[in-house]
């Protein structure tokens, strides 16, 4: 399988702010909405869909970013939401993956995305049967000439937010909450650990996995234990489970507005998830977020497919250099000194002076 880096157009970055649409459409239902006029007739004939993991498109993280990218692509190209334009299929459990991917292919979508490494086997299975359809898997590498594999250098961005955590902590105790333990989530943990240790070798880093990407209660329980043990910064790479980390941090902040308690978000800028009011004051427990531009990748590969240049059989990798990985634009809780340190380490990564580990070993 070929592997290449892929540059990102500025226009796609600017398009990424499309507002999240209505959630929860049934797989068999065409939830069409009015589209922008302005797409050409040739463009409007193209159709694209995505199949989520169990987190759903309103997970405020990975799936939501992908859906926002698809919405932005649809708006740019005059596509309507529904079977004649762009659509998502919600998976409620693992057994839905093959069913939903098959449904998308049989509805004659030109391109079908599987959002998340958990869908890898299902994508490979259906792609081998539906050879006239193009497929893309996000966060994994799948076999098939009609499959594009989209990967990210999550460890690079996690290193940068690790620098932020290491310089922010007052207790020298820092937590990491991962979703399902896997090679992918270990990349987040490994990069984060390396970033913390680069600026604060005295810090203790508690790395734990929830075993689930869609269990906010479990995330809150894990966060409560970590904060209770003295951690003052927690980085989550856990999808919907991470929402529980925010809940616990906000509860603690409301109880004691002077307490230092931070969350580092993932995939999207999660500043909105950390907002709260305590004693009449607007506060925010989101220190920063590691932004992984799944939205841009979805737009990017969709555009290639629409233009007849689908990268089937290739691995497309997005990192800092490709503008696919970064810290969040919202930086209200980071001092200029910390921002300068982050920029310095980012440049060292780009220059090859630092090779960020992608495994905990």
pLDDT band at 14 (very low <50, low <70, confident <90, very high): very low
Q: What pLDDT sits at residue 44?
A: 58
Q: What pLDDT sits at residue 20?
A: 36
DSSP 181-206: -SHHHHHHHHHHHHHHHHH-TT-EEE
- DSSP letter for 257, please: T
Structural domain contains residue 356: no
| pLDDT over 90 at 361, yes or no | no
Structural domain contains residue 99: yes
Structural domain contains residue 166: yes
Q: What pLDDT sits at residue 122?
A: 98
Question: Quick one: 196 and 147 in the same domain?
Answer: no
What's the total number of domains in the chain?
2
Q: Can you give the length of the chain in residues?
A: 361
Question: Quick one: 41 and 120 in the same domain?
Answer: yes
pLDDT digits (tens, 9 = 90+) for 165-182: 999 999 999 999 999 999
Question: Quick one: 66 and 214 in the same domain?
Answer: no
| pLDDT over 60 at 19, yes or no | no
DSSP 22-85: -----TT--------BTB-HHHHT--EEEE--TT-TTSSSHHHHHHHHHHHHHHHTTPPBSTTS
pLDDT digits (tens, 9 = 90+) for 326-352: 999 999 999 999 999 999 999 999 999
Region 55-71: mean pLDDT is 90
pLDDT band at 15 (very low <50, low <70, confident <90, very high): very low
Question: Quick one: 201 and 307 in the same domain?
Answer: no
Q: What is the percent of the chain with per-residue pLDDT over 90, rounded to a whole number?
A: 84
Question: Quick one: 170 and 245 in the same domain?
Answer: yes
| pLDDT over 90 at 303, yes or no | yes
pLDDT digits (tens, 9 = 90+) for 214-255: 999 999 999 999 999 999 999 999 999 999 999 999 999 999
Question: Quick one: 33 and 143 in the same domain?
Answer: yes
Closest CA to 267 of 70, 126, 116: 116
| Domain of residue 172, residue span | 154-292+331-350
Question: Quick one: 101 and 7 in the same domain?
Answer: yes
CA 325 to chain centre: 10
DSSP-assigned beta bridge partners for residue 286: 263
Structural domain contains residue 325: no
Structural domain contains residue 163: yes
Structural domain contains residue 324: no
Of 23-32, 50-59, 196-205, 238-247, the poorest mean pLDDT is in 23-32
Question: Quick one: 208 and 280 in the same domain?
Answer: yes
Q: What pLDDT sits at residue 55?
A: 84
Question: Quick one: 49 and 172 in the same domain?
Answer: no
Structural domain contains residue 361: no
pLDDT digits (tens, 9 = 90+) for 137-169: 999 999 999 999 999 999 999 999 999 999 999
| Dist. CA 94–CA 92, nearest whole Å | 7
Question: Quick one: 339 and 237 in the same domain?
Answer: yes
pLDDT digits (tens, 9 = 90+) for 250-286: 999 999 999 999 999 999 999 999 999 998 899 999 9
- CATH number of the domain that residue 40 is part of: 3.40.50.2300
Q: CA separation (Å) from 172 to 53, 83, 175, 266, 290?
A: 35, 52, 10, 21, 21
Question: Quick one: 111 and 199 in the same domain?
Answer: no
* Top-confidence residue, 131 or 12: 131
Question: Quick one: 127 and 158 in the same domain?
Answer: no
CA 100 to chain centre: 21
Average pLDDT score over the chain: 90
pTM here is: 0.82
| Dist. CA 162–CA 152, nearest whole Å | 17
Structural domain contains residue 357: no
Q: What pLDDT sits at residue 41?
A: 40
Region 19-34: mean pLDDT is 38
Of 8-12, 129-133, 146-150, 260-264, the poorest mean pLDDT is in 8-12
């Amino acid at each position: 399988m070929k592997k290449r880096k892929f540059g990102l157009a500025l226009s796609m970055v600017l398009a990424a702010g499309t507002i999240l649409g209505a959630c929860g459409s049934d797989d068999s239902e065409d939830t069409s909405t009015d589209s922008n006029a302005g797409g050409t007739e040739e463009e409007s004939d193209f159709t694209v869909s995505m199949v989520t993991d169990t987190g759903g498109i309103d997970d405020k993280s990975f799936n939501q970013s992908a859906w926002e990218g698809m919405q932005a692509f649809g708006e740019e190209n005059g596509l309507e939401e529904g079977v004649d334009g762009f659509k998502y299929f919600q998976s409620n459990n693992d057994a839905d993956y093959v069913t939903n991917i098959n449904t998308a292919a049989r509805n004659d979508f030109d391109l079908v995305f599987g959002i998340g490494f958990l869908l890898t086997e299902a994508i490979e299975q259906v792609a081998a049967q539906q050879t006239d359809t193009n497929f893309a898997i996000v966060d994994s590498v799948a076999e098939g000439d009609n499959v594009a594999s989209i990967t990210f250098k999550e460890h690079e961005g996690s290193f940068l937010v690790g620098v932020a955590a290491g310089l922010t902590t007052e207790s020298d105790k820092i937590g990491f909450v991962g979703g399902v333990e896997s090679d992918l989530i270990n990349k987040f943990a490994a990069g984060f650990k390396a970033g913390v240790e680069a600026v604060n070798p005295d810090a203790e880093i508690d790395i734990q996995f929830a075993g689930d990407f869609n269990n906010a209660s479990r995330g809150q329980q894990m966060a409560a234990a970590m904060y209770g043990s003295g951690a003052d910064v927690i980085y989550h790479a856990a999808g919907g489970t991470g929402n529980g980390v925010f809940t616990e941090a906000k509860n603690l902040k409301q109880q004691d507005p002077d307490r230092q308690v931070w969350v580092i978000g993932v995939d999207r800028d999660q500043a909105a998830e950390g907002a709260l009011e305590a004693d009449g004051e607007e506060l925010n427990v989101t220190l920063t977020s590691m932004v992984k531009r799944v939205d841009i990748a979805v737009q990017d590969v969709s555009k290639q497919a629409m233009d007849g240049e689908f990268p089937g059989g290739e691995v497309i990798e997005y990192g800092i250099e490709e503008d696919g990985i970064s810290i969040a634009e919202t930086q209200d809780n980071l001092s200029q000194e910390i921002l300068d340190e982050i920029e310095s380490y980012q440049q060292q990564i780009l220059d090859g002076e630092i090779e960020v580990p992608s495994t905990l070993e």
